[in-house]
Amino acid sequence: MASIYQRPIAFAVTAAVVVLVGTLVTVIIPLFMPSTQPVKEYVKPYTAIELEGRDIYIREGCNNCHTQTVRPIRTEVARYGDYSKPEEFAYDRPFLWGSKRTGPDLARIGGKYPDAWHYKHMNDPRSMFAKSNMPAYGWLAKRPLDTSLSYKKTKVLGYGYTEEEVRRQIEEYRRKVTSPDYPAKKIRDQITPPELRDRLTEMDAIVAYLQKIGRDYKETQKGVVQAAAVETFEEMKNPYEGMPEAIEQGREIFQEKCSACHGPDAKGSIGPNLTDDEWKYGWSDREVFISISNGRPNGMPAWGQILSEDDIWKVIAYIRSLKI
């Protein structure tokens, strides 16, 4: 009998079988294993708006520069937050873990900054971070959001919304971002052309999506991550108060980490003015330290895991120096 090197069909069939063994074991069988599709109550499907935002994220190829999975590595958890869990991606079709981090990972971006931060940043990244190389996406605010396929999309994905519900979600979100009380109103109005201010734009949708990523998991962790150690100090005093060298270092840190929201002169932008006498969460060393270290609601991130204790004190020393 002729060998398979003389019989092309037999050769091709053999090759297919050889190729299918590894495929079967590592890809096909796992499809039916619970470990690849864990379901947890806390993970919620995307709303119609978040889904539209996600589709814009895909359209613009954001996944070419941003990953969406935090690995269980100490420095990575310190930088981005808790490592990613398999159940978090139950509603992700496609998955968007990415393969390159030119910019930061976004798996825990939801709720990290206020909406206003995202509007400002998406519109012009370099107005907040001079060294950033992210493309500016201001044009998203100049395009009305197309929701004509929203219901069909949620249906294909099996999210279980009725058409009515999808319409309601869209209208509700429109009302939220166009309301005079919307915290990001000022910057939204600034970058949205007048004729679109009462309508939903692609920018609104992508901001909604960014605020959703990782948020379900974060909700379960509320109160757990508070840096307890800080609370135990009854009296805290800034060891760098009034020291010129420390103030200069504090200024450098402030320019890098804080100026994007509080303005380069600390007179406020997205975040409040730090040079006046209005201090919502208190003005003592201890209170300011806790504000910086643990963060505050409505957008102040917790810097305790990113900045060292010394660095936080230096920043406080710098802020204090502005008042005199």
Partner 1 sequence: METKYDDWAVKGFAVSALFWLVVGLLVGLWIAVEMFYPKLNLTPWLSFGRLRVVHTNGLGLGFGLAGIFACSYYMLQRLTRTPLAFPGLAKFHVVLFNLAIALAALSLFAGMNTSKEYAELEWPLDLGVVIMWVVFAINVFGTLIKRQEKQMYISLWYILGMTVAVAILYILNNLEIPVSLTKSYTVYSGVNDANIQWWYGHNVVGFIFTFPILAMFYYFLPKATGLPIYSHRLSIISFWSLAFAYLWTGAHHLMLTPLPEWIQTVGLAFSIFLIAPSWGSVVNGYMTMQGNWDMMRTNYLTKFFIMGITFYGLQTIQGPTQALRTLTAFFHYTDWVIGHVHMGTMGWVTMTIAASFYYMIPKLYGREIHSVKLANVSFWIVLIGQLVYTVTMWIGGIQQGAMWKATNPDGSLTYSVLDSIAALYPYWKIRFLGGLIYFVGILIFIYNILMTMKRPTEGATEVATQAA
Please report, as residue ranges, which positions from 113 to 132 form the binding site for partner 1 (by CB under 8 A).
125-126, 129, 131-132
Is 135 near partner 1 (CB under 8 A)? Answer: yes
Is 245 near partner 1 (CB under 8 A)? Answer: no
Closest CA relative to residue 302, chosen from 312, 310, 314: 312
Q: Specify whether the CB–CB gap between 97 and 68 falls below 8 A.
A: yes
Amino acid at 122: M
Using CB under 8 A, pick the residue from 99, 195, 277, 278 that binds partner 1. Answer: 99
Which is closer to partner 1, CB of 100 or CB of 237? 100
Using CB under 8 A, pick the residue from 42, 163, 306, 323 that binds partner 1. Answer: 306
Tell whether omega for the bond before 94 is within 30 degrees of 0, i.e. cis: yes
In angstroms, give the least distance from the CB of 236 to partner 1: 16
The Cα–Cα gap between 201 and 277 comes to 37
Please, where are the H alpha helices in 124-253?
125-128, 150-156, 163-178, 185-191, 202-212, 215-220, 228-232, 244-253
First-last CA distance in the chain = 97
The Cα–Cα gap between 254 and 320 comes to 12
Residue span 58-97 as binding mask against partner 1, x where in contact by CB under 8 A, dash where not? xxxxxxxx-x-x-xxx-xx-xx----xxx-xxxxxxxxxx
Q: Specify whether the CB–CB gap between 197 and 119 falls below 8 A.
A: no
Which is closer to partner 1, CB of 90 or CB of 236? 90
Give the binding range for partner 1 (CB under 8 A) out of 152-160, 215-223, 236-244, 289-297: 152-160
In angstroms, give the least distance from the CB of 120 to partner 1: 16
Is 256 near partner 1 (CB under 8 A)? Answer: yes
Tell which positions 2-61 bind partner 1, by CB under 8 A: 2, 5-6, 8-9, 11-12, 15-16, 18-23, 25-27, 30-31, 33, 35-37, 55, 58-61
- Which one-letter DSSP state was computed for residue 304? T
In angstroms, give the least distance from the CB of 91 to partner 1: 7
